[in-house]
Amino acid sequence: MIGHSGCGKSTLLNIIAGLEQPSAGGVVLSGREITGPGMDRMVVFQNFSLMPWMTVFDNIRLAVRAAHPDWSRRRVAEWVQRYVDMVGLTGAEAKRPAALSGGMRQRVGLARAFSTEPKVLLLDEPFAQIDALTRGVIQDELVRMWSASRNTVFMVTHDVDEAILLSDRIALMTKGPNARLAEIIPVKIPRPRTRAELIDDPEYLRLRNHILHFLVEAAQRPGAAEVEIAASTGRLPSMDT
């Protein structure tokens, strides 16, 4: 999801996460309306949100134990190590967040989220505080982890190139304060995608120009084109679709 600051992207993500309540309508996941947080949804925030007194291993283990309280200690440990290895943090298991770089902290956040195998993974500008070179590496890791799990991922970003690289669909929000969902764009560029190949892809250039034009022009006009979401119920679309 892309839109100007203050249009409600993070608010919508928090509603899906069950951290905020909508003023009207609701969000449905697997046939049930979301009324609060749950292990079927995991959030990765841009501020890392790790337990500072816990090690890398323990931060991930905490989530795995919550998701699988019936698992043995050995099974939990093996599962945690699998995700530590997956994000390239082998050897850093005993380090605490203060000893990690921003990129390493966000790797822990991604590993913790994926390790619980949620139905929906919610990413609120997770790479905003990471330098460009590290961001590219972690984006590749995110795609690799997603390819193995095929979780539904809802991501908020300001980065148009990031959206095209990672997404199957891009949702555009009009500018606030009365923001609306203006358009959902399918990204038909075949996977796997690489930055080097995207630069010369005509579809990438078309999508990028379309989104930038929307952000610069259409989002500044009140009453810009909107899609009506389930008008008969006033609800947001199901997270299963």
Structure tokens at 8: 């409600």
Closest CA to 169 of 159, 184, 180: 184
The answer to whether residue 239 is domain-embedded is yes
Give the domain extent around 174.
1-40+120-241
Same domain, 86 and 134: no
Helix (H) or strand (E) holding 106: helix 102-115
Same domain, 156 and 206: yes
Same domain, 26 and 144: yes
Same domain, 63 and 151: no
What pLDDT, in 10s, does the model give residues 115-146? 999 999 999 998 888 888 888 888 888 888 88
Q: Structural domain tally of the chain?
A: 2
Same domain, 56 and 148: no
Closest CA to 181 of 126, 226, 241, 130: 226
Same domain, 129 and 91: no
User: If you compute the radius of gyration of the chain from its CA atoms, what whole number of angstroms results?
Assistant: 19
**Taking 50 as the threshold, does the pLDDT of residue 57 lie above it?**
yes
pLDDT confidence tier of residue 5, bands split at 50, 70 and 90: confident
Q: What percent of the chain has pLDDT over 90?
A: 62
How far is residue 218 CA from its own chain's centroid?
25
SS3 184: strand
The pLDDT of residue 229 is 37
Same domain, 98 and 196: no
Same domain, 124 and 113: no
* Domain boundary residue, one of 117, 145, 161: 117
**Greatest pairwise CA separation for the chain in angstroms:** 57
**Taking 80 as the threshold, does the pLDDT of residue 226 lie above it?**
no
Pairing of strands 152-156, 120-124: parallel
Identify the CATH number of the domain in which residue 177 sits.
3.40.50.300
Per DSSP, which regions of the chain are E strands?
Answer: 28-29, 32-33, 41-45, 120-124, 152-156, 169-173, 181-186
What is the pLDDT averaged over residues 147-163? 91
The pLDDT of residue 228 is 38
The pLDDT of residue 233 is 35
Structure tokens at 13: 């993500």
Same domain, 103 and 134: no
Same domain, 203 and 144: yes
User: Phi and psi of 102, rounded to 5°?
Assistant: -60, -40
Report the distance separating Cα 183 and Cα 186, nearest Å: 10
What is the pLDDT averaged over residues 166-194? 90
* Domain boundary residue, one of 117, 140, 158: 117
Same domain, 131 and 240: yes
The answer to whether residue 15 is domain-embedded is yes
The answer to whether residue 45 is domain-embedded is no
Q: What share of the chain is helix, strand, coil (3-state, %, to 5)?
A: 40, 15, 45
The model carries a pTM of 0.84
Same domain, 144 and 234: yes
* Domain boundary residue, one of 99, 117, 135: 117
What pLDDT, in 10s, does the model give residues 189-224? 999 888 888 989 999 999 999 999 998 875 456 544
The answer to whether residue 47 is domain-embedded is no
The answer to whether residue 46 is domain-embedded is no
The answer to whether residue 11 is domain-embedded is yes
The pLDDT of residue 231 is 33
Report the distance separating Cα 80 and Cα 71, nearest Å: 12
CB 172 within 8 A of CB 214: yes
The pLDDT of residue 132 is 83
> Average per-residue pLDDT in the chain?
87
What pLDDT, in 10s, does the model give residues 87-122? 999 999 999 999 999 889 999 999 999 999 999 999
What is the pLDDT averaged over residues 157-182? 90
